[in-house]
Amino acid sequence: MQNAEIILVGGSGKTGGRVAPRLENLGLKYRLASRSSARPFDWGNRTTWPAALAGGTSAYVAFQPDLAVAWAADAIGALAKTAAECGLRHIVLLSGRGEEGAERSEEALKASGIDYTILRASWFFQNFSEGAFAESIAAGELALPAGEVKEPFIDANDIADAAVAALTDPRHRGKTYELTGPRAFTFSEAVAEIAAASGRLIRYRQIAMAEFKAVLSSGGMPEEAIDLLEELFSQVLDGRNSRVMHGVTEILGRPPKDFGQYVREAAATGVWRA
C-alpha cells in the first residue's frame, strides 16, 4: 500500500477533532485512529497499531489518558518504532508543559529515530467550555485545588493550527514549540471573566486536594484517574509554567488568541447558561 494519509491518533479529542477539518479544508487525506475508528487503535492493545497506522505518511499523536502516566513513555517509544516500520516518516506529538512524564515521552520519541515535532501546550481554554468545568460553571461555581498560580491558557484552535503547520511544512521537523496564550491568569481570574461575559454570578472556590479527591471519588471516577488529576494540579500548577512563551507566533507567524475573545465567543453560544 502506498503511503498517502495523515493518521490522527486521538483524532476525536479536543485538538484532534479540530485538526481533522483543517486537513480536509486543505484537501489532504487523513484517517482517524481510535478505539471506535474503522481500523481500531487501542493504546492498551499494541496488536492494533500496525493496521491502524498502515498507509500513513505522518501522524498527529494525542496520547490518552495523559503523558503523565507511568507507562506513557514506553508506549510513545513503541508507537514511534511501529510507525517507522509501517512507513511513516514524521510524528507530531502533543505534549504538556512542565510534566516530567511528558518529557520522558518526548525523549522516547526522539530516541526512536523518526522525524518529530513536539508541541508543548498549556492548559486549554476549552477546559472551561467543554466537559466537567463547563457543567460546574453553568451551575454557578467552579471548585478546584488551585490557588493564585497563574497559567497562560491556550486556545485549542491555536494548537490545531500549529499541528497542521507541523504536519504540512517540513521546516518544523526536529523542533519543539512551547505553545501558550498571550497572557497568564489564575482560575479565579478566568471565572471572573466568564461571569462578566455571561452576565451571571459565577464564583471560583479554592478547595483542598483532599476535598477535591473526595468529590471525584463520590462521583465514581476511578482511583487511577483521580491520582492523575492530583499529579497534574500539584505539579503542573506549581508556578513552573506561568511564563508566557511565543511558540504560537514562531510556528504560525501570528499571535495566539486571547482568553477574552474566546470567552465572549463561548458566552454567545450559551454554553454557560444556568
Contact 65, 221 (CB under 8 A): no
What average pLDDT does the chain have? 95
Q: Does 132 or 160 have the greater pLDDT score?
A: 160
Residues spanned by the domain of 32:
5-122+156-180+243-257
pLDDT digits (tens, 9 = 90+) for 18-73: 999 999 999 999 999 999 999 999 999 999 999 999 999 999 999 999 998 999 99
71-105 exposure pattern, b = at least 16 Cβ within 10 A, e = fewer: ebbebbbebbbbbbebebebbbbbbbbbbebbbbb
Residue at 140 is within a domain: no
pLDDT at 103 over 90: yes
β-partners of residue 206 are 144
Q: How many CA atoms lie within 13 A of 224 on its CB side?
A: 7
Q: Does any domain span residue 217?
A: no
Let me know if residue 249 belongs to a domain: yes
CATH number at residue 107: 3.40.50.720
Residue 218 placed within a domain: no
Q: Determine, yes or no, domain membership for 36.
A: yes
Does residue 135 lie in a domain region? no
Question: Has residue 161 got a pLDDT over 70?
Answer: yes
Residue 95 is assigned to a structural domain of this protein:
yes
Give whole-number Cα distances, 260 to 21, 189, 250, in Å: 25, 11, 22
Name the 3-class secondary structure at 6.
Answer: strand
Please give the tally of structural domains in the chain: 1
- From 70-79, 168-177, 231-240, the region with the lowest mean pLDDT: 231-240
Rounded Cα distance between 119 and 16, Å, is 13
pLDDT for residue 270:
96
String of DSSP letters for 110-160: HHT-SEEEEEEE--BGGGGTSSHHHHHHHHTEEEES--S--B--B-HHHHH
CA neighbor of 48 nearest in space, from 84, 9, 74: 9
Residue 64 lies in a domain: yes
